[in-house]
Structure 1
Amino acid sequence: MKLIISNKHDVVIGKKLPSLILSNAVKHDGVTMKSIINSGDYRILNNTYRIIPWKKGESYYHEILERSSQQLEAMLSYHSKVHVIRYDLHVSKYTEANEDLSKFMRALNQRLKRKYGHVRLGYVWCREQNLSNKQHYHLALMINGNLFKSSHTISAIVDELWTRLGHPVTYKPDNHIYKIQRGDEVVARAAFERMAYMAKVRTKGKRKGPVNDYSTSRLKAKWLLH
């Protein structure tokens, strides 16, 4: 996947404008009715990032891309430094529901609140299953870089809470930490590219019943609250 920064869709912060300009027609997956796209433009603060597939025929879920860009934008509206950290969470056995992941996210929020007081936490997770007989999860955490100077602290908490549920230690892929300074479009682009990969269609859908294959935090950008 490639991302191209385009200035043709620059917006003034504070104005609520459409965050997406689709380059191709929208399709739906017929099950969850999420929108499937091949390319599109997503806004984060004053920059627009164009999704271009790195692989011919690759497609993405618009809702995951849009929510990811919105949550990163919201975090950057509050904090001048935001760290995006990617984890892969593998499970010890297949489950139809995402109960353990829900428990993990609740425990993570509670631990951070108890240890640091009010902590604004952005996140995106996606459930995937390809050739394996078990699902796995991709998780991107967005944290206040002024509060967490190093990723080691939060990574230790993530590992502790996930293994406590009986699962393997989380996998940290190469280049899984992005330290964004507000206004640094180069690092923001790299972080969003990493998050956008989680929105690919081809490894989702292997589940039974109405089970979510993604979820995000629900942060609102600072200017939307006034």
Structure 2
Amino acid sequence: MYLSHSRLFRFGEHDWLVNAKGSGCYTHMLKKMLSQLFNMLSHHHKLHVLRFDLHQPTYQADNKRITKFNRNLFKRLQRIYKFKRIGYCWVREQEKAPAPHYHYVLILDGSKVRYPHKLLLIISEVWSNMSGSFYVPEHCYYNVNRHDFTRLAKVIYRISYFAKGRGKGIRPPQTKDYSTSRITLCDER
């Protein structure tokens, strides 16, 4: 696992500014996360990107809670929005707190969602039903299209925080530090 301290990260044909200050960024995580963002953009002209945190009340050695959260959340979102695909990235982190927390980003079809209010209510309800607490940072969402490189650069910078070196690895060896959806590139472009 390579930890880069460069402020620029080459992905596709562009160098993107990333949040590598402090502990650097794991390049393999960045590649996976940005692949999901761009693969979703290959299917949809517009995306709605929503960032939030999930906190657990107690230590969990595995990621079964986030797997259950995904299953419950995606069922609800499919029923309400009829998404063909749901992109996501999450990272597990633990530093000083007794329990790990998750940074999470949803990547959704921007023609079906423009504002996060309803989504945030659903997410909060699903996670609260699992006895967790939910945090929404300031400026938690972005609406971006394929040709808006300025906004896309802001999304990439924001997501790059997930790949930071600090807080990773405090887990059993078989437990992952992160996961992403498996959206593939659209063949029709």
* TM, length-normalised to structure 2: 0.92
Match of 1:196 among 134, 154, 160: 160
Q: Which residue of 1 aligns with 2:114?
A: 149
Question: What is the DSSP-based 3-state SS (H/G/I as helix, E as strand, rest coil) of the residue aligned with 2:172?
Answer: coil
AA aligned to 1:126 is V
Map of 1:1-226 to 2, 5 A cutoff?
A: 34-39=1-6, 41-43=9-11, 47-51=14-18, 53-55=20-22, 58-168=23-133, 170-223=134-187
2-side partners of 1:84 and 1:159: how far apart? Answer: 17
Instruction: Tell me how far apart the structure 2 counterparts of residues 52 and 108 of structure 1 sit (CA, whole Å).
Output: 28
Percent of residue pairs identical: 32
Larger relative contact order (CA 8 Å, sep ≥ 6): 2
**1:138–1:198 contact (8 Å) kept in structure 2:** yes
In structure 1, the gaps of 5 or more residues are 1-33
Name whichever of 179-188 and 35-44 sits farther off: 35-44
Would you say how many aligned residue pairs link Structure 1 and Structure 2?
A: 188
CA deviation map 1:145-186 (0-9, x unaligned): 110122112111111110111112x10111111111221011
**CA distance, structure 2, for counterparts of residue 67 and residue 60 of structure 1:** 13
Per-residue CA shift, 1:178-213, capped at 9, x if unaligned? 111221011111111110011011211111231011
Residue 30 of structure 1 corresponds to none
How much is the aligned-residue C-alpha RMSD, in angstroms?
1.8
| Paired residues of 1:86 and 1:173 also in contact (CA < 8 A) | yes
- The answer for unaligned runs of 5 or more in structure 2 is none
Structure 1 position 109, deviation (Å)? 1.4
Q: Distance in 2 between matches of 1:66 and 1:100?
A: 25
Which structure has the larger Rg over C-alpha atoms? 1
